[in-house]
Structure 1
Amino acid sequence: MITAARVKLYPNEGQKILLEKHFGSCRFVYNYFLAKRDEYYITHKNAKKSSLNYLDTANMLIELKEKYPWLYEVNSQSLQMSLRFLDNAFKNFFHKNADHPRFKRKGINEYFAVPQHIKIQGNRIYFPKFSEGIYFKGSREKLSKIKDVNEIIITKDSGYYYCSIIYEIPEEFPEKKPLSSENSVGIDLGIEKFATLSNGIAIENPGFIKKIEKRIKRLQKQLSKKEKTSNNRRKHILKSQKEYMKLRNMREDFDDKISTAIAKQYDTIVIEDLNVHGMMQNHHISKSLSDVSFYYFKQKLEWKAEKYGKNMIEIGRFDPSSKICSRCGNIKHDLKLSDRIYRCDVCGLIIDRDHNASKNIRKIGLIKVGSVRSEFTPVEIATSGLYGIYPYRQRSVGEAGSSEALAEE
């Protein structure tokens, strides 16, 4: 199984200069051959060979290094990896999995890869052009067990340098536990409460953006008054980047801890598919939605479920959850978003809205995978409008009222 470990690098001044040369040279090679590939396609659109591939650009790189001798100062394999990344970007574009590759800008998403000749000794990592090694801080006990490193990727974020060490371990994911209703949980994600579990546990929204929003606003206001291309402006940009990095780290740490706790405790996890992109169009809640980062949390939860051999079930975004009573199955058509307490007019259930939804999510997910069997026949499922969730035909409040009136007549 291929995995990765990320450590923070502490290069000296000379190593910083060399790292920046690697970032700049790899970016230059990527942009240069992106333009060359586009130009070649325009001029050879109707020819038998209409586009360049990795081997073509790798051969052209030799001539480019003769034209620009400063490219010899960086690791040649890192330049070749930039061509690999460019070729993969074009393949994704041709397969309609991504947009056309874009030119890279200085200071945005800075990285380069080293595929070979990597050695880790103690608290230093050695690779070509860095024979003295770069000091790092990380889990030395974990890294000491690494025998062969497949690849490393050096990145820069808010003025700090990081190294992602990609290596292979013999362990595989454990076998998944059998699907069952026992030790299962449904999760309803929200803004007021980050997550509500079907067993009644509610996880409050930490509201990270509120904690550092004032500092970010103050820095942005100061930044707007600085002259462009000035040193003070660059300093304030770096300060703003560090605040945003702090916000991102807080979110990632929260999602990581919550997803780990859920994946360790429950064998079957049911979650709903949310239309986050569509919800972000509502400017009243878009800021709060971006702060809770539902998509990243779901990705984390899926990974942790695989890691611990647990089952992850995702129900459709249009499956009923909020408006149905979790006890009797009554549909409450007049339920508003502002109604935080669900009050059933048929069975009299009074329950928190999110808790009611999480119980329905769990029940829908278990029925979909066959862990809970519905007593509906196919005809009853088609006519009930409840998709066979409950063991008998339920009616909405309006339907119940009209039928009782007809019976009395």
Structure 2
Amino acid sequence: MLKAYKYRMYPTKQQEEMFSKHFGCVRVIYNWALEQKIKSYEQDGKAISRFTLNKTIPTLYKDMEWLKEVNSQSLRGATLNLDNAFTRFFREKTGFPKFKSKKNPVQSFSVPQYYKVDFETNKVKLPKIGWIKTKLHRHFDGNLKTATVSKTSSGKYFISILVDDGKELPDKQDFDENSAVGIDVGIKDFAIMSNGEKIDNPRHLNNSVKRLKVLQKRLSRKQRGSKNRDKAKQQIAKLHEKIANQRNDFQHKLTSRLISENQAIALETLTVSGMLKNHKLAQSISDVSWSSFVTKLEYKAEWYGKSILRIGQFEPSTKICNVCGYHNNNITLVERQWQCPDCGASHDRDVNAAINIKKFALNKQNLIGI
């Protein structure tokens, strides 16, 4: 089973310079490889493989000798990242790969092999760079795979180490109506369970939006190219990083609890990209980050042998009475409570939706009535 472990790095000034060289050289190779792929397709109508590109990289050393200063395998890792970008483009339609800019504050490079991790001294050794002070706060056992060094927009350095612990993913555990839960995500409440529990939306971005506006206003007044403008950018980047850390911490704690308490979790498929086109709700939807929440649920379910059940985005989970099945076409977004005219049952709009999500998902699994 593959797991990634992320650690904060504290390089010296000299090591930071080597990091910058690696970031720059990897970016150059990525852009060069993308250009070669585009030219090959336009001229010959064929795609050029990354293996062919890797064989061509040594010929670039004549005109760009500074490429020799960095780890050659990191350069070849750039062509692999480009291949993965094209794979996502063709399979997931996520957008055609773009050329990378050195103005982007977020930079990274990969180290496929020949690096070492020493937990006793809290250091990581990278080819061409040496031993780097690293906060190795979590221990792991297994075979080291690819490591990725990254720099955030706030100027911090991290290393993500992919480890194969040799374990197999556990088999999916059996579940029934009692061990499954339906979840309806929202904006007022972050998550509503079919058992009636509601998880408050922490609104991390909304809580910091006033401070963010102040910092952005200060940035707009700074002269372009000045050091004070760079400092203002750093302050904004640090605030965005704090918000992202708060959001991830909240979601990790919640998803871990949900996975440990239930054998199966039923969710509604949402097209977040389409929902973001609603300018009145776009900021609130971005703040809750449903996609990130679902991603965490999915990979943790794989780790522990739990099941994630899905229902279609057009299933009328909100409009159907979970008691008698009456379809209420007249319900609006403003109505948070409604009463079924057929059976008289009173419904909380979101709890009713969560119950129906669970019922629809179990019905597809032929588990209703167990």
TM-score normalised by L of structure 2: 0.93
Q: State the SS of the aligned residue for 2:347.
A: strand
Per the TM alignment, residue 55 of structure 1 is displaced from its structure 2 partner at its CA by: 3.3
CA–CA distance in 2 between the matches of 1:95 and 1:309? 27
CA–CA distance in 2 between the matches of 1:328 and 1:83? 57
Runs of 4+ in 1 over 4 A off after TM superposition: 90-98
Structure 2 regions of 5+ residues with no counterpart?
Answer: none
| 1:128 partner amino acid | P
Corresponding position of 1:121: 118
Judge conservation of contact 2:206–2:287 (CA < 8 Å) in 1.
no
Corresponding position of 2:85: 89
Judge conservation of contact 1:342–1:356 (CA < 8 Å) in 2.
no
Task: Provide Cα deviations, 1:361-394, integer angstroms capped at 9, x if missing partner.
Answer: 11111111001159xxxxxxxxxxxxxxxxxxxx
| 1:113 partner amino acid | S
Judge conservation of contact 1:226–1:232 (CA < 8 Å) in 2.
yes
CA–CA distance in 2 between the matches of 1:93 and 1:350? 47
CA–CA distance in 1 between the matches of 2:232 and 2:77? 33
Task: Provide Cα deviations, 1:4-42, integer angstroms capped at 9, x if missing partner.
Answer: 100010111111111111101111121123223333444
Corresponding position of 2:17: 17
Corresponding position of 2:287: 291
Task: Provide Cα deviations, 1:318-337, integer angstroms capped at 9, x if missing partner.
Answer: 11211111222222222111
CA–CA distance in 2 between the matches of 1:302 and 1:325? 29
CA–CA distance in 1 between the matches of 2:267 and 2:88? 30
Does 1:135 pair with 2:130? no
Per the TM alignment, residue 137 of structure 1 is displaced from its structure 2 partner at its CA by: 0.9
What is the aligned length? 366
CA–CA distance in 1 between the matches of 2:366 and 2:337? 30
Judge conservation of contact 1:9–1:162 (CA < 8 Å) in 2.
yes
Judge conservation of contact 1:111–1:153 (CA < 8 Å) in 2.
yes
Corresponding position of 1:308: 304
CA–CA distance in 1 between the matches of 2:82 and 2:233? 29
Structure 1 regions of 5+ residues with no counterpart?
Answer: 375-409
CA–CA distance in 2 between the matches of 1:11 and 1:307? 33
Identity %: 37
Per the TM alignment, residue 52 of structure 1 is displaced from its structure 2 partner at its CA by: 3.2
Q: State the SS of the aligned residue for 1:25.
A: helix
CA–CA distance in 2 between the matches of 1:37 and 1:194? 43
CA–CA distance in 1 between the matches of 2:197 and 2:223? 51
Judge conservation of contact 2:173–2:263 (CA < 8 Å) in 1.
yes
Per the TM alignment, residue 173 of structure 1 is displaced from its structure 2 partner at its CA by: 2.1
Note closer, same or farther for the CA distance 1:56–1:363 as it changes in structure 2 (3 Å cut).
Answer: closer
Per the TM alignment, residue 301 of structure 1 is displaced from its structure 2 partner at its CA by: 1.1
Note closer, same or farther for the CA distance 1:235–1:73 as it changes in structure 2 (3 Å cut).
Answer: same
CA–CA distance in 1 between the matches of 2:297 and 2:57? 42
Per the TM alignment, residue 231 of structure 1 is displaced from its structure 2 partner at its CA by: 1.4
Judge conservation of contact 1:367–1:373 (CA < 8 Å) in 2.
no
Judge conservation of contact 1:188–1:354 (CA < 8 Å) in 2.
yes
Q: State the SS of the aligned residue for 1:163.
A: strand
Picking from 157, 162, 172, the partner of 1:161 is 157
Note closer, same or farther for the CA distance 1:273–1:103 as it changes in structure 2 (3 Å cut).
Answer: same
Note closer, same or farther for the CA distance 1:20–1:178 as it changes in structure 2 (3 Å cut).
Answer: same
Judge conservation of contact 1:315–1:365 (CA < 8 Å) in 2.
yes
Q: State the SS of the aligned residue for 2:334.
A: coil
Corresponding position of 1:360: 356
Larger Rg: 1
- The equivalences for 1:35-184 within 5 A come to 35-42=35-42, 44-45=43-44, 50-90=46-86, 93=89, 97-108=93-104, 109-122=106-119, 123-131=122-130, 133-140=131-138, 142-143=139-140, 145-146=141-142, 148-157=143-152, 158-184=154-180
Higher RCO structure, 1 or 2 (CA under 8 Å, sep 6+): 2
Judge conservation of contact 1:30–1:83 (CA < 8 Å) in 2.
yes
CA RMSD of aligned residues (A): 1.9
Corresponding position of 1:3: 3
